[in-house]
Amino acid sequence: MSLWDLTQILRRWGWLIPVLSIVTALSAFVYSRLQTPVYRAVATIAVQPARPDFGQSQAAKTLLSSYVQIMSSAYGGGDLHQPSASRVIQALQLDMTPEQLRRSAIFSADERSLLIELEIRSYDPEVAQRIARTWAELFIEWRRTENQTLRQEDQIDALLVDQPVASRFRPQTTFNVAAGALMGLVLGGALALLMGWLELGAARATEQWLLLQYYLRLLRRRGWALVIFPLAAAGLAFVYSRLQTPMYRAVATIAVQPARPDFGQSQAAKTLLNSYLQILSSVYGGDDPAQPSARRVIQELGLAMAPEQLRRNMSLSLDERSMVIRLEVRAPDGELARQIAKRWAQQFVEWRQKENEKLRREDRIDALLVDEPTYNRFRPQTRLNVALGGLGGLLIGLIVLFFEEGLENLRRWMEAPPGARRREEIPEALS
């Protein structure tokens, strides 16, 4: 397309650009006005080591991600002082579930400045402000409780940097209108170029129409394959999903916390995480009767299964950055999976408490249950299976469609007289 062609296109179709820009800008403005305003309040918490020591500062950095995990709990673990969404609801008498409140909260950590930011979103600015402040205060109180068992020089304090202030989160009317206008410019330009290209390509319209007719005839004759195969495959996937025994999974999250915020001890705790995974994954346990194991879980919960079977349905993962261990249990009963995950995690917490009794307070490594385990469906994922089945059926349908069309063309070519075959093989430009 030459510059002259582009100029002619803009002269003829350029009016589409401002029109679409105005339409999309007005649409964005109306959409913004129809939205219910959402407000956000941010509480910033500074984590401060009591002693300005490099090792302790590095330990505080290491523990920052762990603090975010503990703070973002929905129900809290065994520690009554632990901050959680349920405690915020109790303190403020909110009419919502802990899960709903947890979904409206966003936590982030800045290791460079040792800051934790808690963002709350709500339709009421006053409510958002109160929730952010209360949640931050609960974390500060928890740190004070933890510090009571430490010497003053080994403590890590937390303080509220400023009072949370609510501001509008959405809709951002000005931004939406500007984005709508820009989108209108792009769409208008694209549509103008398309219309101009169609006009310039009028000479090729006959060839394109013939090609389109060919594909339409192909769909009319063999399009059944694009309907039957996806429907059949999706139906089989649906039946397969319904015939499967539902399996649920529950996840227990355990935070590993060195008692003394020292860099060396924090690194030692990180090093021990893989060892803790091995101990947690025990089937029968070792010589220590307090050691967590699949057999102990079965005995305490009165389960009718072999320890090896329970161990196969349990998996472990760890996040060294936040020093968190995740224990996942799968079972046909969701409540049973939750009970197993919780008891297995509690056994590990109790074992760490027993091991800590042999050590001085400042040398201990604690473990705490971050939140109450909850369960959800692991399999079958009926919607996903049906979608994948339909997609696979569509692919098979396309293969069948073009394969049959190829066979039909080959049959016609074979049945044609030799002279007609030779004419078809010779390119038009040479014939």
- Measured between alpha carbons, how far is 294 from 334 in angstroms, rounded to an integer? 18
| Residue 251 lies inside a defined structural domain of this protein | yes
Given pLDDT bands bounded at 50, 70 and 90, which one contains residue 5? low
Mean pLDDT taken over the chain: 84
Do 12 and 196 form a contact (C-beta atoms < 8 A)? yes
Minimal CA–CA distance to 80: which of 6, 18, 138, 22? 138
Verify that 263 and 289 share a domain, yes or no: yes
What pLDDT, on a 0 to 100 scale, did the predictor assign at position 266?
Answer: 79
Model confidence over 388-423: pLDDT tens digits?
999 999 999 888 888 887 787 777 777 767 665 554
- The last residue of one of the domains, among 144, 170, 196, is 170
Q: Which residues contact 352 (CB under 8 A, 6 or more apart)?
A: 365, 366, 367
- pLDDT for residue 70 is more than 70: yes
Q: Read off the pLDDT of each residue in 271-295 and give the average, rounded to a whole number.
A: 85
Angle, helices 125-147 vs 85-92, to 10°: value is 120
Q: Read off the pLDDT of each residue in 152-168 and give the average, rounded to a whole number.
A: 86
Residue 264 lies in domain: 247-379
- pLDDT for residue 149 is more than 50: yes
Model confidence over 167-223: pLDDT tens digits?
888 888 889 899 989 998 898 888 887 777 766 665 455 555 666 677 777 777 778
What pLDDT, on a 0 to 100 scale, did the predictor assign at position 418?
Answer: 66
Model confidence over 361-383: pLDDT tens digits?
878 888 889 888 889 988 888 89
Verify that 65 and 102 share a domain, yes or no: yes
- pLDDT for residue 146 is more than 70: yes
Q: How many domains does the chain have?
A: 3
Number of helices (H), then strands (E), belonging to the chain: the values are: 15, 10
What pLDDT, on a 0 to 100 scale, did the predictor assign at position 209?
Answer: 61
Verify that 317 and 371 share a domain, yes or no: yes
Q: Read off the pLDDT of each residue in 158-169 and give the average, rounded to a whole number.
A: 88
| Residue 349 lies inside a defined structural domain of this protein | yes
Minimal CA–CA distance to 345: which of 276, 412, 416, 414? 276
- Measured between alpha carbons, how far is 389 from 397 in angstroms, rounded to an integer? 12
Verify that 258 and 340 share a domain, yes or no: yes
Provide the phi-psi class of 148: left if phi over 0, else alpha when psi is between -120 and 50, else beta: alpha
pTM of the model: 0.67
Verify that 259 and 365 share a domain, yes or no: yes
What pLDDT, on a 0 to 100 scale, did the predictor assign at position 426?
Answer: 40
- Measured between alpha carbons, how far is 61 from 391 in angstroms, rounded to an integer? 47
